[in-house]
């Protein structure tokens, strides 16, 4: 896991590194939820698709990829298309 850093400005602002913005789909005006935990603060971007927003939160379990694949299959079946 790569460690990325940001500094807090005098106004309490931070810059989210580009790599993280790209990975989690954070764009201008994205709402960020801040959740306080015992070990630190969890930052979760709002997303129209909660599954995509969760991407990367579960390290290397493969669960997200499986869920996305299942959702894609279900959507294709609804449209009468085979995904195989």
Given a cut of 90, whether residue 73 has pLDDT beyond it is: no
Query: What pTM was estimated for this model as a whole?
Result: 0.51
Q: How confident is the model at residue 25 (pLDDT cuts 50, 70, 90)?
A: confident
Mean pLDDT check: name the lowest of 29-43, 46-60, 63-77.
Answer: 46-60
- Selected residue with higher pLDDT from 75 and 81: 75
Average pLDDT, the chain: 81
Helix, coil or strand: residue 60 = coil
Comparing 16 with 64, the larger pLDDT belongs to: 16
């Amino acid at each position: 896991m790569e460690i990325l850093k940001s500094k807090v400005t005098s106004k309490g602002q931070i810059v989210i590194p580009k790599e993280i913005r790209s990975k989690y789909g954070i764009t201008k005006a994205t709402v960020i939820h801040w959740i306080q935990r015992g070990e630190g603060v969890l930052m979760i971007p709002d997303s129209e698709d909660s599954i995509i927003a969760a991407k990367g939160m579960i390290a290397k379990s493969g669960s997200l990829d499986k869920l996305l694949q299942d959702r894609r299959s279900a959507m294709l079946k609804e449209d009468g298309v085979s995904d195989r």
